[in-house]
Amino acid sequence: MAKRKFQNGYPVKRQKTKPTAVKEGSNEEVLLMDIRHLLSTQILADKSENGDASEQNSPKPGPSFSPPERFSDVEVLITEFSSSGDGLGLAPTADHVYVVPFSIPGDLVKAKVINYFPQDRYTLTDFISVIKPAANRNDSLVQCPYFAKCSGCQFQMLSYEEQLAQKKRIVEKAYQNFSSLPPELIPVIGDTIGSPLQYGYRTKLTPHFDGPPGTLSRKARRANAEVKWDGIPPIGFLQKGTRKTVDIEDCPIGTDTVRLGMKQERERVADEIALFRRGATLLLRESTKRTPKPKGGLLIPASSKAEQKSVDIAAERPQTSVNGVIPPKSQPLVQPQESDDKPDLSLPYTEEKTCITDQNATSTEFVDNYIFSNPAGSFFQNNNSILSVFTAYIRANILPPSSTALHNPNSTPAPSHSSPTAAPPAEKPITNLIDAYCGSGLFSITLSPLFTHTLGIDIARASINSAHANALANDISNAEFISADATALFASVAFPPDETVVVIDPPRKGCDEGFLRQLLEYAPRRVVYVSCNVHTQARDVGFLVEGVRGEEGKEGGRVGARYEIESLRGFDFFPQTAHVEGVAVLRRVVEG
Ligand SMILES: C[S@@+](CC[C@H](N)C(=O)[O-])C[C@H]1O[C@@H](n2cnc3c(N)ncnc32)[C@H](O)[C@@H]1O
Domains and CATH numbers, the chain: 6-137 (2.40.50.140), 204-375 (no CATH), 384-408+427-588 (3.40.50.150)
Q: What is the tens place of the pLDDT at every residue in 155-172?
A: 999 999 999 999 999 999
**Phi, psi (rounded to 5 degrees) for 447:** -100, -5
- How far are the Cα atoms of 245, 267, 275, 321 from residue 280, in angstroms, in the given order? 12, 15, 12, 11
Per-residue confidence (pLDDT) for residue 323, from 0 to 100? 29
ipTM for this model: 0.99
**Whether residue 399 has its Cβ less than 6 Å from ligand 1:** no
Per-residue confidence (pLDDT) for residue 328, from 0 to 100? 34
Per-residue confidence (pLDDT) for residue 11, from 0 to 100? 66
Cα–Cα nearest to 383, from 579, 549, 154: 579
- Cα 223 to averaged position of ligand 1 atoms, centre (Å): 38
Per-residue confidence (pLDDT) for residue 166, from 0 to 100? 97
Per-residue confidence (pLDDT) for residue 212, from 0 to 100? 87
Per-residue confidence (pLDDT) for residue 217, from 0 to 100? 63
Beta-carbon neighbour count of residue 382 at 10 Å? 21
**Whether residue 486 has its Cβ less than 6 Å from ligand 1:** yes
Q: What is the tens place of the pLDDT at every residue in 359-409?
A: 999 999 999 999 999 999 999 999 999 999 999 999 999 999 875 433 443
**Whether residue 488 has its Cβ less than 6 Å from ligand 1:** no
Distance from C-alpha of 464 to C-alpha of 470, rounded to nearest angstrom: 10
Beta-carbon neighbour count of residue 112 at 10 Å? 16
**Whether residue 506 has its Cβ less than 6 Å from ligand 1:** yes
Indicate which atom in ligand 1 lies nearest the CA of residue 485.
20
Per-residue confidence (pLDDT) for residue 556, from 0 to 100? 57
Task: Identify the band that residue 66 occupies on the pLDDT scale cut at 50, 70 and 90.
Answer: confident
Distance from C-alpha of 278 to C-alpha of 377, rounded to nearest angstrom: 20
* CA torsion, ordered 30, 161, 187, 490, to nearest 10 deg: 60
Helix axes 160-178 and 27-49, enclosed angle (nearest 10): 80
Q: What is the tens place of the pLDDT at every residue in 4-58?
A: 666 666 666 654 445 455 566 688 888 999 999 899 887 655 555 555 544 444 4
- Cα 45 to averaged position of ligand 1 atoms, centre (Å): 44
Task: Identify the band that residue 450 occupies on the pLDDT scale cut at 50, 70 and 90.
Answer: very high
Per-residue confidence (pLDDT) for residue 7, from 0 to 100? 67
The pTM (predicted TM-score) of the whole model is: 0.84
Region 218-241 average pLDDT: 82
Is 224 a residue whose pLDDT tops 50?
yes
Region 344-353 average pLDDT: 86
Name the 3-class secondary structure at 515. Answer: helix
**Phi, psi (rounded to 5 degrees) for 534:** -65, -15
**Whether residue 505 has its Cβ less than 6 Å from ligand 1:** yes
Among the residue ranges 185-199, 280-294, 548-562, the one predicted with the least confidence is 548-562
- Cα 463 to averaged position of ligand 1 atoms, centre (Å): 9
* Nearest protein CA to atom 25 of ligand 1, as residue: 460
- Cα 459 to averaged position of ligand 1 atoms, centre (Å): 7
* Nearest protein CA to atom 4 of ligand 1, as residue: 439
Distance from C-alpha of 538 to C-alpha of 534, rounded to nearest angstrom: 6
* Nearest protein CA to atom 26 of ligand 1, as residue: 439
Per-residue confidence (pLDDT) for residue 385, from 0 to 100? 98
Q: What is the tens place of the pLDDT at every residue in 291-331?
A: 998 866 444 444 444 443 433 323 332 222 222 232 333 33
As annotated, the active-site residues are: 532
Share above pLDDT 70 across residues of the chain, in percent, rounded to a whole number: 77
Distance from C-alpha of 171 to C-alpha of 132, rounded to nearest angstrom: 29
Asked whether the beta carbons of 437 and 527 are under 8 A apart, the reply is no
Name the 3-class secondary structure at 148. Answer: coil
Ligand 1 pocket test: pick from 374, 379, 442 the residue with the most ligand atoms within 8 Å of its Cβ.
379
**How many angstroms separate the most distant Cα atoms in the chain?**
87
- Cα 78 to averaged position of ligand 1 atoms, centre (Å): 38
The alpha carbon dihedral of 190, 196, 200, 202 has a sign of negative
* Residue 337 annotated as part of some ligand binding site: no
Cα–Cα nearest to 92, from 149, 42, 25, 37: 42
* Residue 505 annotated as part of some ligand binding site: yes
The secondary structure of 393-458, three-state, reads HHHHHCCCCCCHHHHCCCCCCCCCCCCCCCCCCCCCCCCEEEEECCCCCHHHHHHHHHCCEEEEEE
Among the residue ranges 181-195, 268-282, 360-374, 550-564, the one predicted with the least confidence is 550-564
Q: What is the tens place of the pLDDT at every residue in 90-136?
A: 999 989 999 999 999 999 999 999 999 999 999 999 999 999 999 99
Name the 3-class secondary structure at 269. Answer: helix
Among the residue ranges 310-319, 444-453, 521-530, the one predicted with the least confidence is 310-319
**Whether residue 528 has its Cβ less than 6 Å from ligand 1:** no
* Residue 572 annotated as part of some ligand binding site: no
Per-residue confidence (pLDDT) for residue 424, from 0 to 100? 58
**Phi, psi (rounded to 5 degrees) for 178:** -115, -10
Task: Identify the band that residue 228 occupies on the pLDDT scale cut at 50, 70 and 90.
Answer: confident
* Residue 163 annotated as part of some ligand binding site: no
Q: What is the tens place of the pLDDT at every residue in 462-518?
A: 999 999 999 999 999 999 999 999 999 998 899 999 999 999 999 999 999 999 999
- How far are the Cα atoms of 176, 214, 274, 419, 587 from residue 226, in angstroms, in the given order? 54, 11, 11, 86, 61
Per-residue confidence (pLDDT) for residue 67, from 0 to 100? 87
Per-residue confidence (pLDDT) for residue 383, from 0 to 100? 98
Per-residue confidence (pLDDT) for residue 27, from 0 to 100? 83
Ligand 1 pocket test: pick from 458, 465, 540 the residue with the most ligand atoms within 8 Å of its Cβ.
458
Region 348-361 average pLDDT: 95
Tell me what the pLDDT averaged over the chain comes to. Answer: 84
- Cα 277 to averaged position of ligand 1 atoms, centre (Å): 32
